């Protein structure tokens, strides 16, 4: 389940950041979209090693 959530967060972050490409160059909206996309995507990247730790903790 955590793998699905991690993948969803990465996809949502990419969609938000790529939406920033549609905003006017240098606008506050573009900056906000890039920052939000990076923050959400960053959470996905942080979740990646956590997922492996959770997976390894279930191995007997």
Rg of the chain (C-alpha set): 15
Contacts of 38 (CB under 8 A, 6+ apart): 13, 17
Over its length of 60 residues, how does the chain's per-residue pLDDT go in tens digits?
Answer: 777 888 899 999 999 999 999 999 999 999 999 999 999 999 989 988 888 888 888 887
**Helix 28-57 to helix 2-19 angle, to the nearest 10 degrees?**
170
CB 34 within 8 A of CB 21: no
pLDDT at 25: 95
Cα diameter, the chain:
54
């Amino acid at each position: 389940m955590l793998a699905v959530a991690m993948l969803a967060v990465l996809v949502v972050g990419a969609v938000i950041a790529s939406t920033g490409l549609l905003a006017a160059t240098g606008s506050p909206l573009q900056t906000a979209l890039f920052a939000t996309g990076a923050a959400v995507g960053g959470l996905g990247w942080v979740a990646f090693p956590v997922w492996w730790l959770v997976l390894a903790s279930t191995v007997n």
